[in-house]
Amino acid sequence: MAIRKFLSFILQTIMTGLAAAFLYVLLIDPDLLRDNSTVVEVIESRQETRTPAAADSTGSGAWNGPVSYADAVEKAVPAVVNIHTAKVITHRVHPLLKDPVFQKFFGDRFAKARKEIQTSLGSGVLISSQGYVLTNNHVIEGADQIQILLADGRSAKARVVGSDQDTDLAVLHLTADKLPSIVIGDSGRLRVGDVVLAIGNPFGVGQTVTSGIISATGRDHLGITAYEDFIQTDAAINPGNSGGALIDTRGALIGINSAIYSQSGGSQGIGFAIPINLAKGVMTQIIEKGYVARGWLGIEAQDLTPQLARTLGLTHTKGMLIGSVINDGPAANAGLQHGDIVVAINGEPVAGTNEAMKAISGVQPGTTIKLSGLRKGLPFTAQAKVIQRPGRNTPVD
């Protein structure tokens, strides 16, 4: 009997404790009943399930067809040509081989100049059915013979109409019937991310098409040419592609493939093309005159950066700082001096050296331009008569 009362007492005590604990949680700390585990809310993105497409012909970026650039390639490929060049290299004889003592023992067979034929490959673009081919100057520079291989298998000799080292462009001419020509595009409308195709003859394997996007526009200060405004692309450009076509998805020519940035000699996704809007002006002058008329002041200059302006104690932070002035050149005759800062040309503000040099080069030789600037912190103006840039662009005989 005593045992039964004892068990009953223990049971009542436990039940009372459980009831008290329940009331405490319910009335005093209800958070203990909640699930405190972290919940991640996932929002699914609604992606288009349709197949991506090529941009429309208006350039608006709207999608209107399947992913294939075959139509663009088919339109442009007939106008892209392979260029084979050959030149005779004469190896000079070392003076020792002409020495009478040497010739007494070995004769004069080593004293004769040795000649060899050096060949190279490149690409070009037919820009007119009249037979004009646009290519890079470095593709044909110094060549004694130039042979053009057309996409349809025909071959023809070409002559140099003219070349421009400052932009690395050259124009050739060939004579043949029913020549194709490429559609000229507008490189001024290009945007980073636009799809482009490179056509050329890399490593001499034959006509090849690669694709990529516009990585950047207006690339300069690369040390490739005197006047730089390159299109940068990741479309594979390799040796032999030089002078070939960079086209858009409509098959229009937007650039001339010119150079690659590479440590291995092959494509590493950084290629450069000359914009067709720049090439067009050079090409027109070469065809009409045989050379490029380009204004020249006779100065060496650099950008006026904010850091340089602070060093010189200047408040003006944009312009072209003249480093040196060539004796008897247009700038020297106009009174320009080392240390002058040109801030405007013909009233147009100068943002930097590259823009200023482009503006000067675009002026016809013989034209007088007005330069405004700062000299030792004080404003000045000068009148300079530009002349033809010497020694680099001359008519072809």
pLDDT of 108-138, one tens digit each? 555 555 666 767 788 999 999 999 999 999 9
List Cβ neighbours of 316 (8 Å cut-off, separation of 6 or more): 304, 309, 341, 343, 374
Would residue 251 be called left, alpha or beta, if left means φ above 0 and alpha means ψ between -120 and 50 degrees?
left
Asked if residue 32 has pLDDT above 90, the reply is no
Assign 394 a pLDDT band (cuts: 50, 70, 90): very low
Is 262 in the active site? no
Model pLDDT for residues 224-236, shown as the tens digit of each residue: 777 778 899 988 8
Q: Which residue has the higher pLDDT, 256 or 7?
A: 256
| Catalytic residue of the set 120, 187, 215, 242 | 242
Its pTM stands at 0.71
- Cα–Cα distance, 50 to 176 (Å, whole number): 46
Is 173 in the active site? no
Amino acid at 100: P
| Coil vs helix vs strand at 46 | coil
Q: Torsion over CA of 278, 390, 136 and 140, rounded to 10 degrees?
A: 160
Whether the CB-CB separation of 325 and 336 falls below 8 Å is answered with yes
Helix (H) or strand (E) holding 25: helix 2-27
Q: Which letter does DSSP use for residue 327 in this model?
A: T
Q: Which residue has the higher pLDDT, 178 or 12?
A: 178
Assign 219 a pLDDT band (cuts: 50, 70, 90): confident
| Strand partners for 197 | 211, 247
Model pLDDT for residues 333-351, shown as the tens digit of each residue: 999 988 888 989 998 988 8
Q: Which residue has the higher pLDDT, 23 or 397?
A: 23
- Cα–Cα distance, 127 to 155 (Å, whole number): 17
Token representation of residue 267? 């494509």
pLDDT, position 58: 44
**Domain boundaries 183-289, CATH class:** mainly beta
pLDDT, position 395: 46
What is the DSSP pairing of strand 183-184 with strand 252-260? parallel
> Under CATH, what is the fold of the domain 295-388?
Pdz3 Domain (2.30.42)
Assign 397 a pLDDT band (cuts: 50, 70, 90): very low
Whether the CB-CB separation of 261 and 273 falls below 8 Å is answered with no
73-174 placed in CATH 2.40.10.10: yes
| Strand partners for 85 | 120, 146
Region 303-311: what's the mean pLDDT? Answer: 81
Give just the sign of the alpha carbon dihedral 368, 370, 373, 375: positive
User: Looking at the chain, which residues constitute the CATH 2.30.42.10 domain(s)?
Assistant: 295-388
Region 146-167: what's the mean pLDDT? Answer: 92
pLDDT, position 310: 81
In angstroms and rounded to an integer, the radius of gyration of the C-alpha atoms of the chain is: 36
Give just the sign of the alpha carbon dihedral 306, 307, 308, 313: positive
- Cα–Cα distance, 135 to 137 (Å, whole number): 7
- Cα–Cα distance, 211 to 142 (Å, whole number): 32
| Catalytic residue of the set 168, 234, 248, 340 | 168
Assign 37 a pLDDT band (cuts: 50, 70, 90): very low
Q: Count of CB atoms within 10 A of residue 377's CB?
A: 11
Model pLDDT for residues 53-106, shown as the tens digit of each residue: 444 444 444 455 557 899 999 999 999 999 999 877 665 655 655 566 655 555
Whether the CB-CB separation of 350 and 371 falls below 8 Å is answered with no
Assign 33 a pLDDT band (cuts: 50, 70, 90): very low
- Highest mean pLDDT range out of 11-20, 123-132, 230-239, 312-321? 123-132
Region 294-307: what's the mean pLDDT? Answer: 86
pLDDT, position 376: 83
| Catalytic residue of the set 84, 120, 138, 166 | 138
Assign 185 a pLDDT band (cuts: 50, 70, 90): very high
Asked if residue 9 has pLDDT above 90, the reply is no
pLDDT, position 353: 84
User: Looking at the chain, which residues constitute the CATH 2.40.10.10 domain(s)?
Assistant: 73-174, 183-289
Distances (CA, A) of 351 to 156, 302, 305, 354, 378: 47, 11, 10, 8, 19
Is 242 in the active site? yes
Region 391-396: what's the mean pLDDT? Answer: 52
Q: Which residue has the tokens 């516009």?
A: 214
Average pLDDT over all residues of the chain: 79
- Cα–Cα distance, 300 to 314 (Å, whole number): 20
Distances (CA, A) of 269 to 170, 212, 274, 384: 25, 9, 17, 43
Q: Which residue has the tokens 């013979």?
A: 145
- Cα–Cα distance, 238 to 253 (Å, whole number): 19
